[in-house]
Amino acid sequence: MRCLAGLVLWVWLTAGAGASPCEPGARLDYPLSEVLSEEAWSYAVEAITRDDIPPDPDPALHNAGAFAAVMRERSAALPEPLADLPYLILLWEKTTYPDPLYSLTYMQPSTVMPEIVAAAERHGLSAEARYLRTPLTLWPDWDAGPAERMADRAALDGGLRGLALRAASTALHGSEPRILAATEALIASDPDLAAEFEARRQGADRHRRLDHLAWRLISECLADWWTPEEADAAFAEMGPAQADILLMHFFLAESFNGSAHQYFYNSSGTMAPQLAALLDRIGLSDHAAAVRQGMAVFPAPYPRDTDARREIMATFSEAQDDALYAITAWADDGMILEAMARLAEESGLMPR
């Protein structure tokens, strides 16, 4: 898109997979995959906090040794039949990215690539293991470390070895559902572990659930758009609650990422008039006034066309830019986020 993620367990997984978030009255489940993403993130976070392993001098690989230690300790802490779980979770999380083998070849996760390959083999992922072995074949001295491979990257990209690596990465990315199924099956094989992950799923806070809802609405319900006419048609195709949630989501996502200035610069700013009207309608009149103040920095009538808006912004003075940056405060106060969560709950859209 040009505009701006045991038996009971298996029944739940099957039920949640087919639900569509696009229609009024949609009922959604918060999936186990979100818990797996949090678990994968925890490996990296723990590695950052380790001070018992010397850091790599390369900032990009600073915690590579600590990351390998964390993964091996997480695995060793599990009963032997479950010891592969951290490696499967890490592998699945990397396959959610367009280029899974980049991280598994050049970054911290590459330090446990042999363990990932072995885990994939043990859990019926033989094709995936074959793709994973491609970088291991290209760098026979794998233990030399990720910095050595990173140094080769520029020369590799333009040759046959680079083509082989990209082809394997593309194939691995397409294996995401199989890797997820194998990971879920391993969790389901142990009742205590299944109960633990189910408790974590049920305990997810409303903001995590809201993030998941917004991601599904964007990926499944919002048509590709760029022009104002395309934007209006795309939002009109959704249920009204879904459209309202996304209007607020885009303002917050852009503002949190690069300030309200970025909101107006990107295609999200096409919907600024609709956002202001929505904020008035739900009782956030001060926030609506702030959005309109941003619109007033532009010549009237407000240019909904993104290309036209960008041309105008290229001529802005420092004061005009600062006026747009200042509106970020209205995203930061939490009231729009709370309104989004309340709307998701009242409409029944909040994933359960």
Residue 11 pLDDT > 60? no
Between CA 225 and CA 243 the distance in angstroms is: 14
Which of 285, 304, 216 is closest to 34 using CA atoms? 216
Greatest pairwise CA separation for the chain in angstroms: 68
Q: What is the mean pLDDT of residues 56-65?
A: 78
Quote helix, strand, coil % in the chain, to nearest 5.
75, 0, 25
Residue 348 pLDDT > 90? yes
Q: Is the peptide bond before 191 cis (omega within 30 degrees of 0)?
A: no
For residue 215, give the 3-state DSSP assignment: helix
What is the model's pLDDT at position 61?
78
Mean pLDDT score of the chain: 91
Q: What is the mean pLDDT of residues 120-148?
A: 94
Binning pLDDT at 50, 70 and 90, where does residue 26 land? confident
Q: For residue 348, what are the contacts with CB-CB under 8 A and spacing of at least 6? A: 25, 26, 27
Q: In b/e form, how buried is each residue of 265-292, taking b as 16+ CB within 10 angstroms? A: bbbbbbbbbbbbebbeebebeebbebbb
Between CA 296 and CA 6 the distance in angstroms is: 57
